[in-house]
Amino acid sequence: MLKIGTLELSPGAALAPMAGVTDTTMRRLCASFGASCTVSEMVSAKALTMGDKKSPRLMAGGSAPAPFGIQLFGAEPEVMGQAAEMIVQGKYGVSFDFLDINMGCPAPKITGPGAGSALLKDPVRAGEIVRETVRHAAGVPVTVKLRIGWDEDDLHAGSGVEVAKRCEDAGAVMLTVHGRTRRQMYEPGIRPEEIARIKQAVSIPVVANGDVTSAESALTLMQATGCDGVAVGRGAMGNPWLFAQIAAAMRGDEIPPAPGLQERFRILRRHIYDMCEDKGERVAMMEARSHAAWYMHGLKGAARLRRECCAMTHFTDLEPVIELAFELQREHEKRL
């Protein structure tokens, strides 16, 4: 059984943190389908220490019944430690089970100041950040999310492996490794053999991440890397039932089929309704456009449906989009 420190996780895949995606509603929904744990959108350690009012909202809500981690990013060890201490001491009144450090985000606005995947170029600083976070976390487990390296030169030099070792030595209890370099961003094709190199170099649990879109691909990635688990990121967008399928596969049970249209749209309605409850309709519906569009993937007329989703401003706008999806499906079936 996969553990984060002494915290035991149920069989299944973790929900990987994604900025603008893994909000409270998404975490709770994925947990209801069997996600083994979830992690918040990344939170700026510097913003927390400067009293930013928006950042604490990213940490709220948890993901019951699944364990929940708060992900911090930053480039300064002292600031990361200070932010961890503020969270652990209850300054924000949030319930959580572990802290996660972001060393994987490839976005220029994050890497420019030296945070996210830029830390892959500075193993010493990466280790110092983990050490300070662990020191101030007062026994709360600390994990790290990273990539296999910054670029091809990094891979050849083994810097990803070095960063992983330094994270372990500094007190991290688990690593989640995304199988692309920062240079690759999200272009097709992960590198399982590089994840395996990191797994073989450390003694703490390693979770593989990247291109998990089905139960079969989850099992294949685990087998190819020798990792202790998998984390699902973009594969879960508009597809939260994937966690139930992966959990069944890991238990050796029959994999449940993907839901039909009626059930898919029942889940979509629940997702968007809960977003409105959590954030208020105005804010929620701006963000819900993307979520609703992801649920249309693979349907007949998906491009048209996505355009309709992007025009929504009220929760009541969702139902006509769903009705259109059914109509387009019926028209397609008539032509068969």
- Would the annotation count 61 as a binding residue? no
- Would the annotation count 234 as a binding residue? yes
Q: Please check whether residue 234 is in contact with residue 15, taking contact to mean a CB–CB distance below 8 angstroms.
A: no
**CA quadruple 162, 210, 19, 37: dihedral sign:** negative
- Would the annotation count 314 as a binding residue? no
Q: Which two tokens stand for residue 266?
A: 């029942």
Q: Please check whether residue 27 is in contact with residue 5, taking contact to mean a CB–CB distance below 8 angstroms.
A: no
Could you tell me which residues come within 8 angstroms of residue 100 by beta carbon, excluding any fewer than 6 positions away? 17, 39, 69, 70, 71, 72, 142, 143, 144, 145, 176
Catalytic residue among 30, 105, 227, 276: 105
Q: Please check whether residue 59 is in contact with residue 84, taking contact to mean a CB–CB distance below 8 angstroms.
A: no
Q: Please check whether residue 75 is in contact with residue 111, taking contact to mean a CB–CB distance below 8 angstroms.
A: no
- Of 187, 163, 156, 188, give the one whose Cα is nearest residue 177: 163
Q: What phi and psi, each to the nearest 5 degrees, are found at residue 225?
A: -105, -20
- Would the annotation count 238 as a binding residue? no
Active site residue 167: no
- Would the annotation count 223 as a binding residue? no
Q: Tokens 């996600």 sit at which residue?
A: 35
- Would the annotation count 178 as a binding residue? yes
- Would the annotation count 18 as a binding residue? yes
Active site residues: 105
Q: Which residues participate in the annotated binding site for FMN?
A: 17-19, 71, 145, 178, 233-234
